[in-house]
Structure formats: C-alpha cells, structure tokens
Amino acid sequence: MWRITSRRCRARRNQNRVTRPTTLTEFAACLREFIRAASSQPDSHTAAPGRWAEAFEQLARALFGLQFAANEPFRRLCQARGVTPERFEHWSQIPAMPTSAFKVLEVTCLPPDARVSVFHSSGTTGQAPSRHFHCAESLAVYEASLLPWFARHLLPDAPERIRMLVLTPPAVQAPQSSLVHMFDTVFRAWAAPGSAFYGWVNQQGGWELDCARLIADLQAVCRQAEPVLLLGTAFNWVHLLDVLDFRQVRLELPPGTRLMETGGYKGRSRALARETLYRLLGDRLGVPPERIVCEYGMCELSSQAYDQVAAVPSPMSATSVVSPTPVPKRRFRFPPWARAMVISPETGLEVAESEAGLIRVYDLANVASVLAVQTEDLGVRRGDGFELMGRVPDAPVRGCSLLAEVAPA
C-alpha cells in the first residue's frame, strides 16, 4: 500500500517526526512517486478507485492546505463556503473553483516571477480565455501525469516508437495551448522518424491544416505495413474529412493504426455527432471505432480522461475492418491521481448512477493552481467514470454567479 509517509516523501519538522509535505515542491515529489506507483500496476486503467482511496485522501488533504495558504482567490472561495484545511472531513468537500474564474482572476499559487508558462483555453471565438499559470516544476508534474495515462490508452501494445501524424500546429507556434503542449510532450517521448505536425497558425491566430501534405503522407503510409498514431481535434478531423470527400479519396491505413480526437468544434467547423464522425473516419481512413479514442481535458486541468483503450488487432488480422455497428456509449476515466464527480446544479451533491449533472474534477496534478475545478460540461454518472453530454446551456450565467464568492471585497 502506497502512503504519503513513504521514504522519498518524508518532510521533517523535528528529528524522526514524519509530517505531510510543507511546500509545493515537497508535494510535487510525493505526487510523482504516487504516479509512478499507480502507473506500474498493469490494471491501473480498470482498477476501482478504492484501491488508491487512502493515498488520494492524504495527498488531497496535503495539497488543499498548501493551496489554501498560497492561492488567494481559492482561499476566498473556501472561506465563503466555510471550508478550511481544519474544517472538512473528505476530499470531496473541498470547494471547486469554476472554470469561469480562470478567465478573470489569477487562480494560481505562483508569484509573477515564478511563472514560466501560461496555457489559454481554446473557447469560442471572441470570448476571454481561461489562463492557467505554470512554473517549471508544475510543468514537470503535468508531463509526469500525462505520459503514463496516454500510453495506457493510445499505446497499449507499448511500442518504443511510433510514427505520429499530428493535425495541430507545433508548440513553437502555439505555446499557450495546453493541447499542443500535450501533443508536443508525447511527440518527444515516442515519435518515430517520419513523424510531423501538419497544422500552422495564420496571421489572425487561427489554426490551419496542411491537408495536401497530410493526405500525401497518409497515402504513403497506406503503402507501408507500419501502423501510425493520428492526433487531432474534432474540428481538425472534420476539415480533413471535407477535403477527402471533395477529392473523393478513401484510404485504408495499416492495421494497428490508432486515432485520438478531442475537444469540441467551437464554431471552427460544422459539428458532427460523435457516431457520425467516427463512421466517416472509418469510411475515409479505414480506422474502426474500437481504435478511435476520445480524450477529455482542458487548460484548467493537468490530467486527462480517456473513454477507452485503443484495441490492438490480433496477429491473425490481415486487414483493418471497419465496424458497421454504432459506437457504444463510452465512459471517460481519469487516472488514479484525479477524480471526477457529476454534481447536481440544484443540490450541489453528487448525482445518482445514470443521472446527469455538472462534471467536477479533483486533479492532484494541478499543483500550482487549484486541485478542485468545477467545469461547465454536462455528464452522466457511469460507475467511476462519466459519459460526456456536452456544454451546459447558459453556463456563463452560472459561472458568473459563482464568481461572486471569489471576487475581492
């Protein structure tokens, strides 16, 4: 059983006295050890959260105390709710900061001179973006959280390297995108020769896709036997599908190819139901739904949820067969160092199984901001995960009401 008192996590105030981490630096070290321990379990993506309940509770308590002291907007929210590090019983009682607060407040534990990076949300055009500040240490925790959970879902066959075709701009062109940072991190970790980014940023700051170069490279991949990993946003995939349809091109990518899609459309393309998007991707690229994985993440978080593990074809499989059946209802799950709850907006309590509500995330990897984030996304509770239903209508109004609790007097 992993405990916060493990040797590498000890912080001593008096000789031979073991205490909780007393700084965010000490906490980051504890968390990274926990991530290593949890990730080393082969069934960490299917194990019940109860296996890690004690460790999660200890870490959440420690981080809450540190963030309460260092993060002024978070402290105001907690005081308004009557919750302090000395006055709560369970991590689920820690107040959650609404994502709308990240648009107007500096929701951070970091002084200005410690901030080396800031991620902006990619919300609807014209809206003020959220801002999530990072230091070098919190970025290291972000990457420590990202890599094992990504590999468990997108690289279950554990290749040392795989050719990646990424439909976003590279990090040098979009340094404030948490999604691009995510793709850049996995690219550095596992990209084989021939991997490339196919997006670029235009003069207005919008993202464009070099479809001609991408299609040419996909056609070359089809002539080879090696599977590839495709990464992109939902609107990236719609743009590619539209060009493939216009050119009347159909591809059959090698068996074992897997594809990740993420994010909403945000007015950047026509919107498709997920079942329709996956059917079209199968028709045009030859990638069946069982090898298409959806990621749920946002700039306000440092951990990601995935809705399934990419299926690995059997050795007997000679071709990639597109499933004719509809995509089943999937459930998103966060890693053991994060928890998702579906909350009733009327009662503020967790809903019953199969009921809908607002998704709330407790993310221990959010070391330098807040561990509890209240999203504006609607979900249905499915066991220890959730089914994503989309954005809540009139979410900005709800967010503004919550901001009254964290605004300075």
Which DSSP string corresponds to 260-325? Answer: EEES--TTSS----HHHHHHHHHHHH---GGGEEEEE--TT-SS-EES-PPPPPPTT--S-PPP-S
pLDDT of residue 226: 93
What are the residue ranges spanned by the domains of the chain?
A: 138-306
Q: Rounded to an integer, what is the distance from CA 338 to the centroid of its chain?
A: 10
Query: Higher pLDDT residue, 232 or 42?
Result: 232
**Mean pLDDT on 36-56:** 81
CA distance 382 to 296: 15
**Mean pLDDT on 243-272:** 86
Q: 270: pLDDT confidence band, cut at 50, 70 and 90?
A: confident
Which fold is adopted by the domain 138-306?
Answer: Rossmann fold (3.40.50)
Q: 133: pLDDT confidence band, cut at 50, 70 and 90?
A: very high
**Mean pLDDT on 395-405:** 44
Q: What is the mean pLDDT of the chain?
A: 88
Tokens describing residue 352: 């019953």
End-to-end CA distance of the chain: 45
Distances (CA, A) of 346 to 112, 351, 356, 357: 37, 10, 12, 9
Q: 267: pLDDT confidence band, cut at 50, 70 and 90?
A: low
- Assess whether pLDDT exceeds 70 at residue 25: yes
Tens digit of each residue's pLDDT (9 = 90 or more) over 5-21: 555 565 433 333 335 79
Q: Are 277 and 234 in contact (CB under 8 A)?
A: yes
- Assess whether pLDDT exceeds 60 at residue 271: yes
- Assess whether pLDDT exceeds 50 at residue 84: yes
**Mean pLDDT on 383-387:** 95
* Phi then psi dihedrals of residue 2, to 5 deg: -80, 135
Burial of 223 by CB count in 10 Å (0-12 exposed, 13-18 middle, 19+ buried)? exposed
Query: Higher pLDDT residue, 332 or 391?
Result: 332
- Assess whether pLDDT exceeds 80 at residue 124: no
- Assess whether pLDDT exceeds 70 at residue 123: no
Q: Which of 220-229, 315-324, 376-385 has the lowest mean pLDDT?
A: 315-324
pLDDT of residue 9: 63
Which one-letter DSSP state was computed for residue 211? Answer: H
Q: Are 268 and 238 in contact (CB under 8 A)?
A: no
Which DSSP string corresponds to 145-160? Answer: HHHHHHHHHH-TT--S
pLDDT of residue 18: 36
**Mean pLDDT on 209-235:** 96
- Assess whether pLDDT exceeds 70 at residue 408: no
